[in-house]
Chain A
């Protein structure tokens, strides 16, 4: 079986401008939603209490909400979690009431309304912890960006490093844009997923860059355009198959992993899809705009020690 029967290199770079325009528009939209709607941050970041309770029958959210509101929590979120019998209750941080009192009180009230309710999970996070998490998350992001640029600059050339990181940061922003648009809950595990996807889709760019370097060496007469087209075309099959395999794993998490892994898998899915797009269409194009040349990658110094060089040893 062979899915990809491509006869000629596909002229991707002819349409580079179009791809970049599409990227730019999605990026702008993502930023717009991030700014206007903002992320629906989980309790881990904002501080507060989350309770997860299970009923024996499908729960009536309105009733639960009234019960909790009657305790004097005005700003309370009640929603289903996973199944219709599981309910998640989010309480904001309240001064003067300890977390213990808060969850006990709420559970007590719910038990009074329906004795069959079971506490599945509570989580309380103080506001200071949330601030640290935001800080830690940003630091991790910065470290990933700097680390990858340095590594790629060292292995290839700074232009590739910059191109790869721009392409993949744009993925990150787009994932965040999705979370902002749909108001999906952005939790710590989603953050981990986003950063993992950043490392993972830089992979993709690396594979293509590798090919570009190789093609520069192998086909001396090709223009930069043609080299990039050739590199993308010849890695196409691998790109699709790898991502499909990874995505199979992620979908498995999405369907079997239950509500705790739901958004994590979702973030990965978006990341993988946009990862393909940005590595194939955006990263190489940016590298091209930045003006990658054969001389950048095929270092003349390399020739000296090259045993395959027919002119080796012929220096006078």
Chain B
């Protein structure tokens, strides 16, 4: 009765092996490495970059353990921090000739020392949370109301232009909160305006209310459009943050959306919060200016003469100099959107800009006066300007919709649009949560967490082995398997391990032993009542199972509640807690039974089991008496 079929043993062995395999990477520790990633949205890190890194290392006489392309970065691993530093200098020199204008970020990092074959199996160590490795965490709240107000403002301008184009007379357009009020004289005009808005602005909904003899149209942004505006604002802010954080040279920054209007930024290893905050909060500016096309400027462009008075020299993205007038025509504030697209007639890739009302008026005037001339869109970041694009004006452009086309690939159009968009934040942001953990505290926390788990386990193991003899050893082995499986699953999920997570692990082990105690006590009880050893083992496991299931489900309910409503550290706790309960059911019941079966299952005439002393009342049991 106490024998498992072969397939059950097979499952146990396979689970153990897989568990061991995926837990393994966590024990190799970390090795110094240099990581190269892109500093600009337009530059991709690919095998060519990997080759350049390899060549640079060879030229400097540094031999890495390996150089590999992982995701969007190239990583080279080294033996010692000394070679790491040497290699960083070599790579920096080779890939970043101009420190003021880096195309790549060369950062020091730590990567797992685990061998390549483990990596090939996707067996990677767990991530360590900021509280274990040190770093900065920010939570930013995006002001969505401001984003919507901005959008409404631009609609107000657009509607004004559209009404003027169709010669619909109105008595004033104004923005009230996030809706737009339009006053009209009579009903016919109201209907005309209404139809026009319904026709041209799919994202707006209009209500008409009579106001004395006049009519008031109130246009508001539709709920689904509101959602879209908010999503776009969040996305744009994240892209902008990404670009800015790149400058910090952080190896593995985390930029995540949280909820509908929040962004979490985590910078492992960064200690200088002030600088980080400064960079996150900085605004890049975009300016539209005219290109100086005088003869003096022409010669300055080729480097044969000085830059004329009232103009400045900037570089285009391909490194070609452009002489641009100092007078600013428009700024990024007037640009509401930039999207890549295609020209309807020529099928060329284009970048489509949308300007707000004020921007479109100015743009119309400027383009009318400057047909055939070039204008430049300059992006200023860190006080340094770069010409994103310098197109030729072909005709007068009204309506605030600008199309830039010609000599662009689709990828270039995408990149340009991204740059134009990412230059500024779509909506203001505010830091609502922030924490910094020093590297020494992180190391302390790891040590403390591991000590708690290890010593707690040792205490439990010693007690179990003494009290339950061989069954105590089975229980201890099962508990160890529980740890193994828990670590393996967390590594497979690539979960982030935090201090509360380690605490949850300790607690999960403390709770897991409950199942084994239940089983062992049950077996003893059966033996006390005079049941044969084999039958006692069988009954002990069978009867304890219902109880174990019930008690684990109630604990799991608490874990799930924490997972659903907790945030940050509580969530880390809850994840480990829930997984720990599930693995404990496997190890404490299925696995420990397997051990017991393997040991006792074949012995047909079993006289006794080593489960510690089973005390029997001398005379007769209390239970038997009452019956």
Which residues of chain B from 63 to 82 have any CB-CB distance to chain A below 8 Å in the complex? none
Evaluate contact between B433 and A126: CB separation under 8 angstroms: yes
Known: A192-B570, A195-B562, A258-B445. A241 touches B467 (CB 8 A): yes
Evaluate contact between A195 and B561: CB separation under 8 angstroms: yes
Evaluate contact between A119 and B436: CB separation under 8 angstroms: yes
B438-449 interface code vs A (CB 8 A; 1 in, 0 out):
101100110011
Is B344 positioned at the interface, with any CB of A under 8 Å from its CB? no
Evaluate contact between A196 and B507: CB separation under 8 angstroms: yes
The smallest C-beta distance from B555 to any residue of chain A, in angstroms, reads 4
Is B211 positioned at the interface, with any CB of A under 8 Å from its CB? no
Is B484 positioned at the interface, with any CB of A under 8 Å from its CB? no
- Bound form: Cα–Cα A139–B90 in Å: 55
Is A5 positioned at the interface, with any CB of B under 8 Å from its CB? yes
Evaluate contact between B441 and A52: CB separation under 8 angstroms: yes
A196 touches which of B525, B558, B612 (Cβ 8 Å): B558
Residue of B nearest to A241 (CB): B517
Segment among A176-184, A198-206, A307-315 that sits at the interface with chain B: A198-206
Evaluate contact between B517 and A238: CB separation under 8 angstroms: yes
Residue of A nearest to B617 (CB): A7
- Bound form: Cα–Cα A260–B447 in Å: 12
Is A302 positioned at the interface, with any CB of B under 8 Å from its CB? no
The smallest C-beta distance from A133 to any residue of chain B, in angstroms, reads 7
- Contacts of B521 on A, CB cut-off 8 Å? 237-238, 241
- Contacts of B504 on A, CB cut-off 8 Å? 192, 196
Evaluate contact between A192 and B500: CB separation under 8 angstroms: yes
- Bound form: Cα–Cα A192–B508 in Å: 13
Most buried by A among B131, B452, B500, B543: B452
Is B556 positioned at the interface, with any CB of A under 8 Å from its CB? yes
Segment among B20-28, B289-297, B321-329, B454-462 that sits at the interface with chain A: B454-462
The smallest C-beta distance from A138 to any residue of chain B, in angstroms, reads 9
- Contacts of A295 on B, CB cut-off 8 Å? none
Residue of A nearest to B440 (CB): A120
Is B626 positioned at the interface, with any CB of A under 8 Å from its CB? yes
- Bound form: Cα–Cα A147–B440 in Å: 41
- Contacts of A132 on B, CB cut-off 8 Å? 567
B452 touches which of A119, A221, A226, A252 (Cβ 8 Å): A252
B555-575 interface code vs A (CB 8 A; 1 in, 0 out):
111111110111111100110
- Bound form: Cα–Cα A257–B455 in Å: 11
A252-294 interface code vs B (CB 8 A; 1 in, 0 out):
1101111011001000100000000000000000000000000
B221-265 interface code vs A (CB 8 A; 1 in, 0 out):
000000000000000000000000000000000000000000000
The smallest C-beta distance from B575 to any residue of chain A, in angstroms, reads 11
Evaluate contact between B431 and A124: CB separation under 8 angstroms: yes
- Bound form: Cα–Cα A98–B140 in Å: 13
Is B435 positioned at the interface, with any CB of A under 8 Å from its CB? yes
- Contacts of A195 on B, CB cut-off 8 Å? 558, 561-562
Evaluate contact between B558 and A198: CB separation under 8 angstroms: yes
Residue of B nearest to A100 (CB): B277
B463 touches which of A99, A221, A248 (Cβ 8 Å): A248
The smallest C-beta distance from A239 to any residue of chain B, in angstroms, reads 9
Segment among B9-17, B388-396, B546-554 that sits at the interface with chain A: B546-554
Evaluate contact between A249 and B506: CB separation under 8 angstroms: yes
B438 touches which of A120, A151, A200 (Cβ 8 Å): A120
Evaluate contact between A207 and B551: CB separation under 8 angstroms: yes
Is B286 positioned at the interface, with any CB of A under 8 Å from its CB? no
Is B116 positioned at the interface, with any CB of A under 8 Å from its CB? no
- Bound form: Cα–Cα A197–B562 in Å: 12
Evaluate contact between B547 and A210: CB separation under 8 angstroms: yes
- Contacts of A75 on B, CB cut-off 8 Å? none
Is A1 positioned at the interface, with any CB of B under 8 Å from its CB? yes
Known: A129-B139, A249-B509, A252-B456. A188 touches B570 (CB 8 A): yes
Evaluate contact between A253 and B435: CB separation under 8 angstroms: no
Is B343 positioned at the interface, with any CB of A under 8 Å from its CB? no
Which residues of chain A from 1 to 20 have any CB-CB distance to chain B below 8 Å in the complex? 1-2, 5-9
Known: A122-B273, A252-B456. A2 touches B613 (CB 8 A): yes
Evaluate contact between B451 and A256: CB separation under 8 angstroms: yes
Is B300 positioned at the interface, with any CB of A under 8 Å from its CB? no
Is B117 positioned at the interface, with any CB of A under 8 Å from its CB? no
- Contacts of B453 on A, CB cut-off 8 Å? 252
Sorting the interface of chain B by its residue count into under 10, 10 to 19, 20 to 34 or 35 or more gives 35 or more
Is A137 positioned at the interface, with any CB of B under 8 Å from its CB? yes
Residue of B nearest to A123 (CB): B435
- Contacts of A237 on B, CB cut-off 8 Å? 521
Is B495 positioned at the interface, with any CB of A under 8 Å from its CB? no
Is A94 positioned at the interface, with any CB of B under 8 Å from its CB? no
Residue of A nearest to B509 (CB): A249
- Bound form: Cα–Cα A124–B430 in Å: 12
Is A242 positioned at the interface, with any CB of B under 8 Å from its CB? yes
B582-619 interface code vs A (CB 8 A; 1 in, 0 out):
00000000000000000000000000000011110100
Evaluate contact between A260 and B499: CB separation under 8 angstroms: yes
Evaluate contact between A118 and B438: CB separation under 8 angstroms: yes
Evaluate contact between A133 and B567: CB separation under 8 angstroms: yes
Is A125 positioned at the interface, with any CB of B under 8 Å from its CB? yes
Evaluate contact between A192 and B510: CB separation under 8 angstroms: no
Evaluate contact between B514 and A196: CB separation under 8 angstroms: no
Known: A99-B434, A206-B554. A191 touches B570 (CB 8 A): yes
Evaluate contact between A256 and B455: CB separation under 8 angstroms: yes
The smallest C-beta distance from A279 to any residue of chain B, in angstroms, reads 11
Is A222 positioned at the interface, with any CB of B under 8 Å from its CB? yes
The smallest C-beta distance from B623 to any residue of chain A, in angstroms, reads 7
Which residues of chain A from 136 to 176 have any CB-CB distance to chain B below 8 Å in the complex? 136-137, 139-141, 143-144, 147-148, 151-152, 155
A201-219 interface code vs B (CB 8 A; 1 in, 0 out):
0111011001000100001
- Bound form: Cα–Cα A250–B504 in Å: 10
Is B99 positioned at the interface, with any CB of A under 8 Å from its CB? no
Evaluate contact between B554 and A128: CB separation under 8 angstroms: no
- Bound form: Cα–Cα A52–B435 in Å: 11
- Bound form: Cα–Cα A152–B553 in Å: 10
- Contacts of B556 on A, CB cut-off 8 Å? 199
- Contacts of A99 on B, CB cut-off 8 Å? 431, 434
- Bound form: Cα–Cα A133–B566 in Å: 8
- Bound form: Cα–Cα A5–B507 in Å: 29
Known: A119-B436, A143-B564, A256-B455. A189 touches B612 (CB 8 A): no
- Bound form: Cα–Cα A87–B433 in Å: 21
- Bound form: Cα–Cα A141–B557 in Å: 11
Residue of B nearest to A272 (CB): B510
Is B355 positioned at the interface, with any CB of A under 8 Å from its CB? no
- Given contact pairs A196-B559, A246-B513, A249-B460, enumerate 20 new A-B contacts (beta carbons under 8 Å): A1-B613, A2-B614, A2-B615, A52-B441, A54-B440, A139-B564, A140-B562, A141-B561, A143-B560, A147-B561, A148-B558, A200-B511, A202-B551, A203-B514, A206-B551, A210-B546, A230-B623, A234-B525, A249-B452, A257-B451
Q: List 11 A-B contacts (CB under 8 A).
A: A124-B434, A124-B435, A129-B139, A188-B570, A189-B570, A195-B558, A219-B627, A233-B622, A234-B525, A238-B518, A261-B448
Interface residues of B (CB under 8 A from A): 131, 139, 141, 273-274, 277, 430-438, 440-441, 444-445, 448-449, 451-453, 455-457, 459-460, 463-464, 466-467, 499-500, 503-504, 506-507, 509-511, 513-514, 517-518, 521, 524-525, 543, 546-547, 550-551, 553-562, 564-570, 573-574, 577, 612-615, 617, 622-623, 626-627
**The 10 A-B residue pairs with the shortest CB-CB distance in the complex, in nearest-first order:** A199-B558, A249-B510, A252-B456, A126-B432, A246-B510, A249-B456, A203-B551, A256-B451, A140-B565, A147-B557
